[in-house]
Amino acid sequence: MRHIAVGLLLLVCGCSEQPSREELLNRVSELEDENANLRQQIEDAESSIAESQEAAQRAQDAAGEAQSQAQRFGTEDWRDVVSDVQNAADEANSAAQDAASLADDASGAFD
């Protein structure tokens, strides 16, 4: 009787829904692929963040140059300064727009 009970127990355990070795290996492979994709997304996001930070620094530098040019109004004839101030302001505006665009791209990398 004991042998019959053990036999039935083994039969029940053998018929349970356990994944096969092949299924487990396939799942491990899927998880490794997902991991690689996530790592690539992280690298892309880090690259976007670095580009955004560089653009923000360029925008800050351009704004400083525009301010420096504007200060010339106090010491030089305005006719000599206007075009330089306008060019510096245009450069600062362009750099700020580039920085904003890259910041949007960087934040989108995490979505």
Give residue limits of the domains in the chain: 29-108
Q: Which residue type sits at 108?
A: G
Q: Which residue has the tokens 């010491």?
A: 75
Over residues 12-20, the mean pLDDT reads 69
The structure tokens listed for 57 are 């620094």
pLDDT band of residue 80 (cuts 50, 70, 90) is: confident
The CA distance from 71 to 87, in Å, is 14
Mean pLDDT on 42-70: 91
Tens digits of residue pLDDT in 28-53: 999 999 999 999 999 998 998 899 99
